[in-house]
């Protein structure tokens, strides 16, 4: 019997279920990948609570995930919850209810451990080199930054400035107003002081955007050129700087209606893509880095690598 494992990445915006088995050559064979825009942080992310509707969406999604785990004869399950569950006053209640109804034990991890898993996942994609890169993982609740190369992590830190938090705080007008952008940039100047101090004197060659919004940016660039884009066949993607900036600026200037009608933007990202674009543009400007790569691998692939190692 093949060792079949299930990894759940229960994020602030999206719940992922990845059922996989080890595969020589390409790291893993995907058996099933489900992702649901649960929006666990909707309405309550900055108040530190999971609101009733989001709570119900989360429970219902995990009940479905439990059925898939049973259906595919999974031997080992690891469910990881990140920022929204970590900071919610009713997060433990949610996890207890999931355990009672599905048998799934959810583990909340620290931002530091989350960054470590992200590094493992990104490393498995093969996009880390001998030079220093800055991995940026924009989640709904937090953003992880990892200064690293293919061998080592030199600095890692998680900041509670995820897209759901930034959107709730700064994005009120449609399209986002100039004053809101200014306020967001000032907020990032203040919040990211530890990151900029850690990067001082480091020769960082490129930014590696880990899954999430960066997948959307890559798809939008390719669709703009009239190409199709299949994430399952595109583990890594290197951006042309002009193409990326064009997409970022377009997202910032767009209205909700524009984005909702744009092919390539999944519903859960229709609004959060604006602040994710602003954060990406801010980092490129602030760090003076124009070389950006996307990798589809992130936390769940890092957890998968750990599970396979333990077999």
Where in the chain are all domains bearing CATH 3.30.420.150? Answer: 112-295
> Is the separation of the CB atoms in 3 and 311 below 8 Å?
yes
* Listed residue (126, 80, 135) closest to 106, CA to CA: 80
Average pLDDT over every residue of 62-70: 97
Say what the pLDDT of residue 24 is.
79
* Listed residue (172, 194, 175, 174) closest to 183, CA to CA: 172
5-108 — its CATH code? Answer: 3.30.420.40
Say what the pLDDT of residue 26 is.
76
Instruction: For residues 278 and 137, give the distance between their C-alpha atoms in angstroms, rounded to a whole number.
Output: 14
> Is the separation of the CB atoms in 299 and 307 below 8 Å?
no
Count of beta carbons in the 10 Å neighbourhood of residue 175: 17
Average pLDDT over every residue of 35-45: 93
Helices (H), 26-154: 52-71, 83-87, 91-102, 111-124
Condensed to tens digits (0 to 9), the pLDDT of residues 283-311 reads: 999 999 999 999 999 999 999 999 988 77
Q: Which CATH architecture has domain 112-295?
A: 2-Layer Sandwich (3.30)
* Listed residue (287, 213, 239) closest to 127, CA to CA: 239
31 phi-psi bin (left φ>0, alpha ψ -120 to 50, beta other): alpha
Angle at CA of residue 182, ends 41 and 209, nearest 5°: 55
Condensed to tens digits (0 to 9), the pLDDT of residues 130-164 reads: 999 999 999 999 999 999 999 999 999 999 999 99
Say what the pLDDT of residue 283 is.
98
According to DSSP, residue 142 is labeled: -
Say what the pLDDT of residue 244 is.
98
Contacts of 277 (CB under 8 A, 6+ apart): 213, 217, 247, 248, 249, 251, 252
| Structural tokens at position 149 | 């190369």
Condensed to tens digits (0 to 9), the pLDDT of residues 195-204 reads: 999 999 999 9
Q: What percent of the chain has pLDDT over 70?
A: 99
Winning range, highest mean pLDDT, from 40-54, 76-90, 237-251: 237-251
Instruction: For residues 103 and 207, give the distance between their C-alpha atoms in angstroms, rounded to a whole number.
Output: 39
Where in the chain are all domains bearing CATH 3.30.420.40? Answer: 5-108
The H or E element that residue 257 is part of is: helix 256-260
Count of beta carbons in the 10 Å neighbourhood of residue 112: 11
Average pLDDT over every residue of 99-119: 96
The Cα-based distances of 157 to 89, 176, 194, 268, 272 in angstroms read 23, 28, 9, 25, 22
The H or E element that residue 260 is part of is: helix 256-260
């Amino acid at each position: 019997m093949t060792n079949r494992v299930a990894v759940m990445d229960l994020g602030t915006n999206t719940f992922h279920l990845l059922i996989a088995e080890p595969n020589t050559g390409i790291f893993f064979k995907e058996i099933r990948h489900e992702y649901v825009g649960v929006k666990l942080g909707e309405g309550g992310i900055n108040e530190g609570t999971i609101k009733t509707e989001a709570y119900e969406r989360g429970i219902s999604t995990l009940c479905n995930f439990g059925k898939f785990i049973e259906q595919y004869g999974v031997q080992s399950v690891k469910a990881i919850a990140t920022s929204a569950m970590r900071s919610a006053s009713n997060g433990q209640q949610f996890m207890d209810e999931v355990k009672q109804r599905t048998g799934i034990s959810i583990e909340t991890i620290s931002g530091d451990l989350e960054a470590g898993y992200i590094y493992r996942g990104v490393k498995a994609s093969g996009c880390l080199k001998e030079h220093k890169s800055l991995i940026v993982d924009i989640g709904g609740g937090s953003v992880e930054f990892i200064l690293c190369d293919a061998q080592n992590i030199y600095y890692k830190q998680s900041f509670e400035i995820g897209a759901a938090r930034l959107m709730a705080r700064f994005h009120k007008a449609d399209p986002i107003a100039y004053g809101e952008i200014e306020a967001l940039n000032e907020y990032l100047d203040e919040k990211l002081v530890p990151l900029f101090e850690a990067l001082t004197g480091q020769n960082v060659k490129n930014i590696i955007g880990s899954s999430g919004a960066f997948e959307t940016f890559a798809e939008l660039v390719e669709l703009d050129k009239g190409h199709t884009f299949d994430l399952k066949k595109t583990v890594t993607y290197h951006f042309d700087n002009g193409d990326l900036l064009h997409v970022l600026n377009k997202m910032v200037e767009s209205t909700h209606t524009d984005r909702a009608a744009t092919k390539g933007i999944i519903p859960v990202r229709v609004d959060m893509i604006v602040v994710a674009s602003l954060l990406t543009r801010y980092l490129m400007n602030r760090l003076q880095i124009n070389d950006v790569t996307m990798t589809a691998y992130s936390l769940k692939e890092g957890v998968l690598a750990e599970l396979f190692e333990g077999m």
